[in-house]
Amino acid sequence: MSKKTLIPIGPYHPLQEEPELFKLYCDGEIVKDIKWETGYNHRGIEKLSESKTYEQIFFLVERICGICSSSHPFAFANAVEEIADIELTNRAKYIRSIIGELERIHSHLLWVGLAGHFLGYNTVFMWAWKYREPVLDLFEMISGNRNSYAMFKVGGVRRDIEEIKIPVIQKVLDDVKKKTDLLTGAVMDDPVIHARTKGVGILTRQDIIDYAAVGPTARASGLAIDVRKDDPYAAYPLVNWKVITAQAGDVFAKAEVRLLEMYESISIIEQCLEGLKKEKEGDIAVKIKEIPEGIGNGRAEAPRGEVFHFVQSDGSNSPVRHKIRAPSYVNIATFKKSCIGQTIADATISLAAVDPCYCCTERMAAAYDSNSGDKIMNANELINASVKRTNEIKKTINSQL
């Protein structure tokens, strides 16, 4: 057997939402095997949740993820409302969907920016993150917070979106639409991005079924699964929209799905805003007396895929068991398929392609020789390897023109 070099990505690395360690076993430039270690950031939220009341749990699950901080409360609310058999007012449904879709827009913009950064397109990174800012400002206007919005509660939402705010939201949406056109153009027409992402990190339909991957990762491989359509909740059955899919399963297809989904999100929000105008202001929640005994399976489509919450209640004011499954839990496992056989420079973007939630500010990645233990590469050098490859492709393409 030939000598393999171990390249750890993590425990702290800009690719990852939480500290986790990927060990890439490489033979020369080619990744031969990958192993995964986690638990660096295990907070015991499922156990903690058993000691909190239903009202408190919303604030707890909101803090599972910093980027998609409304998707966990969304799924939890769906689970609890299923146990108690609660029907929301239309106004609450619209507001919930608006929050969910605004979040999808800012999360996808964030992904496009980071994907650009890993490919050596720092302009894309700066654009995308600049265009994301007004969306966060909208959250501040609606909920008082740019993140962790505290909008959800059992039976409805905490804050209303008054008529006076609707034109402001509409203006930002018009702006985001123009910027999305710009970004989509920049990504779809660039020959270098095509060369770096097409045919890279392919996940076939069968891989997706085997690993039960969800969200844009599954939709980019031709599986049209989307909880918003399959098991409709909130205002999604009240508006018109379509599920975006692509067939190729590579990084480019995942980018395409995310970019086109942003247009759908904008359209959903616009329809919800129209719907809001017809409903009575202030009618945002129904009164809940108690949560009866029972089982609730709640799910919601987060920007990264299906979030699933299982709640068992014994009739008291806190759950007996609360199981949470985030979409990255199933999506990250697909690295075993997408990375093996790739070069190290492509592994970076293949890992980033499933969007494993980028929240960490601490970053560390280093390559060590598996025999001597000497450091070979650090995080910047890994990104540089990826940037260098883009530059080489640029040169080849330019020389052909």
Partner 1 sequence: MDTESIIEKFKEEFNSDILEIVTKNQKRVIITIMPDSIINVAGYLYKTAGFRFIIASALHTKRGFEIHYHFSKDAVGLILNIHVILDKDNPQIESLSNMFNASNWIEREMHELFGINFLNHPNQEKLISEGNWAEGVYPLRKEFK
Interacting residues with partner 1 (CB under 8 A): 37-39, 42, 44, 46-47, 82, 209-212, 225, 230-232, 295, 297, 299, 306, 308, 310, 312, 320-321, 323, 325, 329-330, 333, 336
37/137 with CB nearer partner 1: 37
Name the burial class of residue 185, with classes exposed (0-12), middle (13-18) and buried (19+) by CB atoms within 10 angstroms of its CB.
Answer: exposed
**What's the closest the beta carbon of residue 56 comes to partner 1, in angstroms?**
19
The C-alpha atoms of residue 352 and residue 129 are separated, in whole angstroms, by 16
**What's the closest the beta carbon of residue 128 comes to partner 1, in angstroms?**
31
Name the burial class of residue 56, with classes exposed (0-12), middle (13-18) and buried (19+) by CB atoms within 10 angstroms of its CB.
Answer: middle
**What's the closest the beta carbon of residue 92 comes to partner 1, in angstroms?**
20
Helix axes of 90-119 and 166-188: crossing angle, nearest 10 degrees: 30
Q: Which amino acid belongs to residue 328?
A: S
**What's the closest the beta carbon of residue 244 comes to partner 1, in angstroms?**
16
182/320 with CB nearer partner 1: 320
**What's the closest the beta carbon of residue 42 comes to partner 1, in angstroms?**
5
**What's the closest the beta carbon of residue 336 comes to partner 1, in angstroms?**
8
Q: Report residue 326 as tokens.
A: 């985030």
**What's the closest the beta carbon of residue 284 comes to partner 1, in angstroms?**
25
**Which DSSP string corresponds to 290-357?**
---EEEEEEEEEETTEEEEEEEEEESSSS-SEEEEE-HHHHHGGGHHHHTTTSBHHHHHHHHHHT---
The residue with tokens 């987060």 is 302
**What's the closest the beta carbon of residue 287 comes to partner 1, in angstroms?**
23
146/336 with CB nearer partner 1: 336
Phi-psi region of 97 (alpha: psi -120 to 50; beta: other; left: phi over 0): alpha
230/281 with CB nearer partner 1: 230
160/207 with CB nearer partner 1: 207
Burial letters 191-211, b for 16+ CB under 10 A, else e:
ebbebbbeebbbbeeebbeeb
Is there a contact between 276 and 162 (Cβ–Cβ < 8 Å)? no
182/209 with CB nearer partner 1: 209
**What's the closest the beta carbon of residue 321 comes to partner 1, in angstroms?**
5
Give the closest residue to 268 by CA, choosing from 70, 20, 94. 94
Give the closest residue to 95 by CA, choosing from 109, 122, 74. 74
Give whole-number Cα distances, 362 to 7, 11, 13, 113, 130, in Å.
18, 9, 7, 18, 22
The C-alpha atoms of residue 138 and residue 171 are separated, in whole angstroms, by 11
91/322 with CB nearer partner 1: 322
225/285 with CB nearer partner 1: 225
**What's the closest the beta carbon of residue 55 comes to partner 1, in angstroms?**
22
Is there a contact between 103 and 68 (Cβ–Cβ < 8 Å)? yes
The C-alpha atoms of residue 278 and residue 268 are separated, in whole angstroms, by 16
The C-alpha atoms of residue 236 and residue 234 are separated, in whole angstroms, by 6
**What's the closest the beta carbon of residue 247 comes to partner 1, in angstroms?**
18
79/142 with CB nearer partner 1: 79
143/338 with CB nearer partner 1: 338
State the chain's maximal CA–CA distance in angstroms.
72
37/133 with CB nearer partner 1: 37
